[in-house]
Structure 1
Amino acid sequence: MIEIKDLHKSYQMGSNSLHVLKGIDFSVKEGELVSIMGSSGSGKSTLLNILGMLDEADEGTYYLDNVPIKNLNEKVAAQYRNKFLGFIFQSFNLINYKNALDNVSMPLYYQGMKRAERTDRAMHYLEKVGLAQWATHLPSEMSGGQKQRVAIARALASDPKVLLADEPTGALDTKTSYEVMDLIQGINDEGKTILVVTHEPDIAEMTKRIVNLKDGRIIDDSVVNQVKASLHV
């Protein structure tokens, strides 16, 4: 599903160049649930931005579902993001003046889907995350956990190949974090490929594989015995 070879990325900082990714080799098979860990400055956010087609590597190759991701203009990159990827953010990134149903159906509008079909599909995914009764509520009327569930429903609505979750529990308390991870584990059990960027070891242990980054390199990549979030919910 994801194949990265010898990935390098540098940023110009005044007269100096900061080498952030230093030859990353990384692959993810369909259906995996992988966490990417590392301290601030390790390169995990840069790697996620490249995976999400929000940035491009200086060197190396990136294939997503056998499609080479290289030299994309913004229009094509946006089309590929819409086709291949669903995003879950720490800050939820919901539109405050739109209700849950409209937030979830938003990506489908950009796919050209008709309104009735958008509404049906958005409602289906709100039901899936346990928020059907909150369809007409605004984000300001919801808890952090509910907002993240809406964000997960939105990410799933366009049926992406891969879900990219950037610190999905970072703004949540422990109990709510485990509830969100229980939902993510359930989605993965249905076959969805998911990458979770986190700095929290207990969250990483709820995935099936942990990749550790340090100073722009992968220092460890291990399959782990997954801790079921439902045991803590």
Structure 2
Amino acid sequence: MIEITDLHKSYKTGNSSLHVLKGINFNVNEGELVAIMGSSGSGKSTLLNILGILDEADSGSYILDGLPIKNLNEKIASRYRNQFLGFVFQSFNLINYKSALDNVALPLYYQGIKSRERYEIAMDYLRRVGLESHSHHLPSELSGGQKQRVAIARALASHPKVLLADEPTGALDTKTSYEVMELIQAINDEGKTILIVTHEPDIAAMCKRNVVLKDGQIIDDKMVVQQRVKAHV
């Protein structure tokens, strides 16, 4: 599903250059649930941006579902993001003046799906994350955990090949974090490929594979015995 080979990325900082990724080799098979870990400055956010086609490596190769991701103009990059990827962010990134239903339906608008069908799909995904009764609530009327559920429903509604989650529990308390991870585990059980950037060991333990970055290199990559979440959702 994802093939990363000898990936390098640097950023200009004044007159010097900061080498952030230093030869990353990293493959992900369909259906995996992978935690990407590392301290601040380790390169995990840069790697996630490249995986999400939000940034491009200086050298090396990135193949997503058989397609090389390189030298894309913004129109094609946007189409690939919409076609292959779903995003979940720590800050939820919901549109404050739109209802939960409108937020989930929005990506389907950009896929050209007609209004009635996209709202039916959006309602189905809100039902799947347990928020059907909150479909007409604004984000300001939802708890943090509910907002993240809406964000997950929005990410899934367009049927992405890969779900990329950047610190999805970072703004949540422990109980709510575990509820969100229970939902993510259930989605993964259905076969969805999911990558989670996290600095929390207990969240990483709920994944099936842990990849650790330090100073722009992978220093550990191992399968783990997944801790199943026992939370009331």
Q: Quote the Cα distance in structure 1 between the aligned partners of 2:86 and 2:191.
A: 14
Aligned to 1:215: 215
Aligned to 1:8: 8
Give the TM-score, by structure 2 length: 0.99
Aligned to 2:230: 230
The superposition leaves residues 206-229 of structure 1 with CA deviations (integer Å, 9 ceiling, x where unpaired) of 000000000000000000000001
Q: 1:189-204, aligned counterparts within 5 Å?
A: 189-204=189-204
> What residue identity is the alignment partner of 2:225?
N
1:36 aligned counterpart, secondary structure = strand
Whether the 8 Å contact between 1:41 and 1:215 is mirrored in structure 2 is yes
Q: Give the C-alpha shift of residue 35 in structure 1.
A: 0.3
> What residue identity is the alignment partner of 1:228?
R
> What residue identity is the alignment partner of 2:128?
K
Whether the 8 Å contact between 1:198 and 1:204 is mirrored in structure 2 is yes
Whether the 8 Å contact between 2:108 and 2:157 is mirrored in structure 1 is yes
Aligned to 1:173: 173
Q: Quote the Cα distance in structure 1 between the aligned partners of 2:132 and 2:68.
A: 38
> What residue identity is the alignment partner of 1:32?
E
Q: 1:150-189, aligned counterparts within 5 Å?
A: 150-189=150-189
2:151 aligned counterpart, secondary structure = helix
Question: Would you say 1:132 and 2:102 are equivalent positions?
Answer: no
Aligned to 1:40: 40
Whether the 8 Å contact between 1:90 and 1:168 is mirrored in structure 2 is yes
Aligned to 2:147: 147
Q: Quote the Cα distance in structure 2 between the aligned partners of 1:113 and 1:230.
A: 37
> What residue identity is the alignment partner of 2:166?
D
Percent of aligned pairs with the same amino acid: 76
> What residue identity is the alignment partner of 1:48?
L
Unaligned runs of 5+ in 1: none
The superposition leaves residues 62-107 of structure 1 with CA deviations (integer Å, 9 ceiling, x where unpaired) of 0000000000001100000000000000000000000000000000
Q: Give the C-alpha shift of residue 184 in structure 1.
A: 0.1
Q: Quote the Cα distance in structure 1 between the aligned partners of 2:230 and 2:12.
A: 45
Whether the 8 Å contact between 1:50 and 1:57 is mirrored in structure 2 is yes
Change (3 A) 1:231 1:135: closer
Whether the 8 Å contact between 1:139 and 1:147 is mirrored in structure 2 is yes
4+ aligned runs moved over 4 Å, structure 1: none
Q: Quote the Cα distance in structure 2 between the aligned partners of 1:80 and 1:34.
A: 21
Unaligned runs of 5+ in 2: none
Whether the 8 Å contact between 2:5 and 2:26 is mirrored in structure 1 is yes
Whether the 8 Å contact between 1:178 and 1:232 is mirrored in structure 2 is no
1:11 aligned counterpart, secondary structure = strand
> What residue identity is the alignment partner of 2:25?
D
Q: 1:32-71, aligned counterparts within 5 Å?
A: 32-71=32-71
Q: Quote the Cα distance in structure 2 between the aligned partners of 1:232 and 1:3.
A: 36
The superposition leaves residues 147-172 of structure 1 with CA deviations (integer Å, 9 ceiling, x where unpaired) of 00000000000000000000000000
Q: 1:89-108, aligned counterparts within 5 Å?
A: 89-108=89-108
Whether the 8 Å contact between 2:179 and 2:231 is mirrored in structure 1 is no
Root-mean-square deviation over aligned CA pairs:
0.8
Q: Give the C-alpha shift of residue 230 in structure 1.
A: 2.0
2:230 aligned counterpart, secondary structure = helix
Whether the 8 Å contact between 1:42 and 1:215 is mirrored in structure 2 is yes
> What residue identity is the alignment partner of 1:79?
R
Aligned to 2:113: 113
Whether the 8 Å contact between 1:97 and 1:138 is mirrored in structure 2 is yes
